[in-house]
Amino acid sequence: MSDITSVSNLATQYINEALKPSTAETSKTNNKEAFSDLLSSAMKMIKETNDLSNAANAEQMNFALGYSDNTHDLAIAQQKAALSLQYTVAVKNKVLEAYKEIMNMQI
C-alpha cells in the first residue's frame, strides 16, 4: 500500500516542482536568479526522471535474468518512471509554449 502512496506522491511532487519556480520568480527582483532557479529546478527534474528510468531498467533486467520474481516491484518501478517522464514532458511542453508566446510578442 505504501508503494501506491509513493506513486501518487511522486505525481504531486513533480507538479509542485514544476510550479515552484513561477512562485519564486514573482518574489525575486533579480531575473537572473529567477532564471537560474528555473533552470536548476528543470535539471533536477530531468535527473530524477533519469534515475527513475534507470531504476526501472535495472528492475526489469533483474526480473528477466531471474534474480527477482516479484512482478509487483517491477510494475511499480515502471509506473514511477512512466509518470515522471510524462510530467517532465508536460513541463517541457509548457516551457516551449511560453517561449513561443514570448517570441511572438511585438515590442
Are 25 and 34 spatial neighbours (Cβ–Cβ below 8 Å)? yes
Domain for residue 65, yes or no? yes
Domain for residue 24, yes or no? no
List the domain range (segments joined by +) for residue 84: 29-105
Q: Which of 68, 45, 48, 72 is nearest to 58 (CA)?
A: 68
Concatenating the DSSP letter of every residue in 21-46 gives HHHHHHH-S-HHHHHHHHHHHHHHHH
Domain for residue 17, yes or no? no
Question: pTM value?
Answer: 0.65
Residues 5-32 pLDDT 10s: 665 666 666 666 666 655 544 554 577 7
Burial of 38 (0-12, 13-18, 19+ CB in 10 A): middle
Count up the domains in the chain and report the number.
1
Residues 49-71 pLDDT 10s: 999 999 999 999 999 999 998 99
Concatenating the DSSP letter of every residue in 73-94 gives HHHHHHHHHHHHHHHHHHHHHH
